[in-house]
Amino acid sequence: MMTKEYLFDEKCRRCPRLATFLDEVREKYPGYHAAPVAPFGDDDPDLLIVGLAPGMHGANATGRPFTGDHAGIMLYETLYKYGFSSAPRSLSIDDGLQLFNCRITNAVKCLPPQNKPETAEIKRCNPFLAEELRALKEGSVVLVLGTIAHAAVLRALELKLTAYKFEHGEEHELPGGLWMIDSYHCSRYNTQTKRLTESMFQAIFARAKEKIAQTD
């Protein structure tokens, strides 16, 4: 299979606030990745998962999306259950874990203070996501984790945000034959408060597999 090239800049400093923050984090935690976090997974996936941004002691530390923090626990367990991952746990960037027919990315590739990127930062990072979306083939599913990821996908496709309301479990037909499925983010807060339960999350992935199978 031919490898697709995605727009990504591991030395990006487009956002002054984020770049300065990463400099501070790198000084405080010398062993951390503390740089833009590249997407991870299959080069030509039928499923693209879009999260918010790297977590301080998760992807920002390990260099792999959703690896090393609580948010990744439910995600990788579910990916494994539905055949998208070679293991149920993602421990480090060199643990040998592989994703099958799936790719994980973030709306914002750099760690934001308090995990809250500013609107201007989301927009500056949007071309990276737009490039990934353009590379998807017809029938692919874009699974968005939370409202920021939802809006980022719409912005990347130059669609009106008001035309596609975020709602957990909602499915949206997008241009280019893509489908977007909304899910609450698998954050510690959402899982501990039961806003997002294991069965709710699994239902999202079961539906994603059904949509993918319909186009195979």
Mean pLDDT by 10 residues, the chain (216 residues): 60 96 97 97 96 97 95 97 97 96 98 96 96 95 98 97 97 96 97 97 98 86
Handedness of CA 122, 124, 129, 134 (dihedral sign): positive
Give the pLDDT score at 6. 58
* 92: number of Cβ within 10 Å: 13
Give the pLDDT score at 1. 31
Rounded Cα–Cα distance for residues 196 and 213 (Å): 25
Could you give all domains of the chain from N- to C-terminal order, each with its CATH number?
29-215 (3.40.470.10)
| Angstrom distances, CA of residue 37 to CA of 4, 104, 164, 178, 213 | 18, 11, 28, 25, 30
Give the pLDDT score at 183. 98
Rounded Cα–Cα distance for residues 78 and 80 (Å): 5
Give the pLDDT score at 215. 77
H or E element, residue 144: strand 141-145
Structural contact between residues 157 and 175, judged by C-beta atoms closer than 8 angstroms:
yes
Give the pLDDT score at 84. 98
Is this model's pTM higher than 0.85 or not?
Answer: yes
> Measuring CA to CA, which residue among 64, 11, 14, 6 is closest to residue 35?
11
Give the pLDDT score at 3. 41
